[in-house]
Amino acid sequence: MKTQVIFVDFILKEWLVIASAAGLILTIFSTRHFPVYSTQEIQVLFILFVLFVTVSGLQKSGLILKIAQNIEKGKAIPLKLVITSFFLSMLVTNDIALIVIVPLTLSLNVNRKDILVILEALAVNAGSALTPFGNPQNLFIYWFYAIHPYTFIKTIAPFSLVFFGLLIVFSLLVKTKSGMQEKVIQKVNKKAYIYGILLFIVLLTVLHVLPVSTGILTILFALIFDRKALRIDYALLFSFLFFFGIADNLKLMLATEINHSRHIFLFSALSSQIMSNVPATLLFAKFTSNWQALLWGVNTGGFGSLVGSLANLIAYKLYVTHEDTSNTASFTVKFLVMSYIAFFIAIGLYFNR
């Protein structure tokens, strides 16, 4: 009986990597083609791995807990988290923003952490859409179509700003309280300062200031001085790997030009629900020159399903695998309901621009 419970719990927590692996195997058999991974995709996976290790080190050093305790002071905790997530994602991408903010949130001594994490996921998807380097799909579209920064921001600004207003209103309605058992205050280890420097270095690699290979510094430090930091969510990394492979195989199955803006928007938004918006961007960019519709479509597709964006996966996995959280099913339902409300609002925005 105990073995069955453990097995069911494993399926509930790791269903994503299981489903993505199954999807990859199905596309391999359907196309008789093993996926070819681009240098960009390998770099994305490497940067994510380095980020996971860096944030894991920061968390174990006690720094994130100390920052969380500072955020607990005062009122409007949900508002502070939403605003921080929104603007941070513009600068360091939605994925990185959540890797930093969600562990911090889970360290807070407050209730309603599930709602806070969901709001943060929505906030980073909305905020990161506003800048060319806010998320991987934006960066690809920006470079692939050679768009002027002003034109890019002007095109997507209504999307981000409307959701920013909605999230502020909703966050003000969420009431949190510190009613849980007091946690033992953990001292900040000296390693935290080193991980802080390493995090800054990783962010510079994301912004192409430093080469991606610089991330090796983090791995070497963890291997030599802090191997516990290497205990990260490898299942999530494999999920990304499988989704990139699925997208590559689907390119062989779809080979037609799509020109109508509404079709591009809907196809990219809906396909993001299945394969995630980054692979959807790589896929549909091959079939259209209408970057405006594609930009709106893949950022809209970031809402909705858990696989809509890599940010959703990060927020979900960080929450359900955290030692202080429970009731995965309840969190999943809340996440999907709130995210799909945002998804349909975004569709309405596009058709009423």
Say whether pLDDT at 234 is over 80. yes
Q: Of 65, 170, 47, whose CA–CA distance to 118 is shortest?
A: 170
Q: In angstroms, what CA-CA distances link 42 with 49, 237, 272? A: 11, 11, 20
- What is the predicted pLDDT for the residue at 4? 59
Question: How far is Cα 120 from Cα 115, in angstroms, rounded to an integer?
Answer: 9
pTM, full prediction: 0.74
What average pLDDT does range 40-68 have in this prediction? 79
Q: In angstroms, what CA-CA distances link 26 with 23, 32, 163, 245? A: 5, 10, 37, 11
| Structure confidence by residue, pLDDT tens digits, 255-289 | 555 667 788 899 899 989 987 888 788 778 777 88
Per-residue pLDDT band for 220 (boundaries 50, 70, 90) equals very high
Q: Are 267 and 284 in contact (CB under 8 A)?
A: yes
| Structure confidence by residue, pLDDT tens digits, 115-160 | 999 999 999 999 999 988 788 788 788 878 888 889 999 999 999 9
What average pLDDT does range 333-349 have in this prediction? 95
166 by Cβ neighbours in 10 Å (0-12 / 13-18 / 19+) ranks as: middle
Please provide the average confidence, as pLDDT, over all residues in the chain: 83
Q: Where are the alpha helices (DSSP H) in 174-324?
A: 191-206, 216-225, 234-253, 261-275, 277-284, 291-300, 310-320
Query: Three-state secondary structure along 105-129?
Result: HHCCCCCCHHHHHHHHHHHHHHHHC
Question: How far is Cα 215 from Cα 148, in angstroms, rounded to an integer?
Answer: 30
Q: Of 317, 278, 237, whose CA–CA distance to 46 is shortest?
A: 237
Q: Are 156 and 129 in contact (CB under 8 A)?
A: yes
Q: CA angle at residue 275 from 26 to 138, to 5 degrees? A: 145
Between 158-167, 195-204, 311-320, 321-330, the lowest mean confidence (pLDDT) is in 321-330
Tell me the domain boundaries of the chain. 2-34+63-186+233-351
Q: CA angle at residue 268 from 320 to 253, to 5 degrees? A: 100
Residue of higher predicted confidence among 23 and 11: 23
Residue 193, SS3 per DSSP: helix
Torsion (CA) 39, 43, 45, 50 in degrees, nearest 10: 160
Residue of higher predicted confidence among 183 and 192: 192
Q: Are 334 and 118 in contact (CB under 8 A)?
A: yes
% the chain with pLDDT above 70? 86
% the chain with pLDDT above 90? 28
Radius of gyration of the chain (CA): 20
Between 172-181, 298-307, 328-337, the lowest mean confidence (pLDDT) is in 172-181
Say whether pLDDT at 205 is over 90. no
Task: Report DSSP letters for 217-237, one per residue.
Answer: HHHHHHHHH-GGGG---HHHH
- What is the predicted pLDDT for the residue at 180? 46
Q: Give the DSSP H or E segment for 14.
A: helix 2-31
Tokens of 350: 């596009």
Amino acid at 17: V
Say whether pLDDT at 185 is over 60. no
